[in-house]
A = this chain, B = another copy of it.
């Protein structure tokens, strides 16, 4: 019996709904496999936890998580209780950084049964490889002066190591797919970090002579996600640009609620973390109507990560079938609840086992 120890952090808002629903699905997957088991341990770390304890996770939180095979996370953030930069940097981003999850993989594709807001969604199938450890997201910076003279300075830090690592990951992934990598830049407006980014991209493409490349400024690239997403295979992007592109990726699929993400530790020293692209959605939390597909798709990426890609593919195919048959939440035009969607996926998985 292969047993995986999974740390479960539902977090805030709809995280507390989509995570349990997805665990049911994971258990069903384990059942039909027979030789596979997931052992969960749940942690209540969240904004509510912060209100009680003054921090998003206990002092030894990372020490606890370190021993798991992976982290399965819902969504963090409830600005009514805790400022976003406090909650996110105290938990989600802290884990990404401390556990050297330097790559964030985020697929988007034409998804059966979804109504894309695009007239012609054109069977797109792309993956954004997002640099996940540095760039525009940095704690370096500060303020000077008060009142009308106040100034805030924010440093974006791009290292050769971090930039090259993301790019090599993107090119390697492209070789398993359609051999094309697009770079998201903005070197016409942002004159220190982005020309550097371009240089590293040029260097990397020379190491992969069989991979075709393109490079677009982020403004044009974001527009292309709307007008012709089918031209992309792999896109490599900085932390911020990857963040923006993947929300658009969710939107063109038909709902940000279905987009998944995998925060990958590539040096094997720490667990990787699986979380959907969407946030905690306080506006619909507690109603039982959140779309569980984003979270379930991250479970698929976790299966891939554990070397169970056949089961992973079966899971995603089943999700598409269920969606295509109209069992779906209201954000994508159905009237099913979170649990109904998950249950339907479970029962179909069992039937075809």
Contacts and interface: CB of A to CB of B under 8 A. Distances in A.
B227 A247 contact: no
A260 interface: no
A243 interface: yes
A81 B148 CA distance: 43
Interface stretch (A65-73, A85-93, A175-183, A336-344): A85-93
A219 interface: yes
Interface residues of A, number: 70
A187 to B, nearest CB: 5
Interface in A282-309: none
A150 interface: yes
Contacts of A256: 220, 223, 227
Contacts of A206: none
Contacts of A187: 83-85
Nearest to A229: B117
Interface in A49-87: 77, 83-85, 87
Interface stretch (A18-26, A27-35, A138-146, A166-174): A138-146
A189 B154 contact: no
Contact of A117 (B120, B147, B151, B244): B120
A147 B83 CA distance: 39
A251 B221 CA distance: 11
Contacts of A222: 222, 244, 247-248, 251
16 contacts: A84-B188, A85-B189, A85-B191, A87-B188, A117-B226, A139-B192, A150-B159, A151-B157, A151-B160, A152-B192, A152-B197, A219-B244, A223-B247, A223-B248, A223-B250, A226-B248
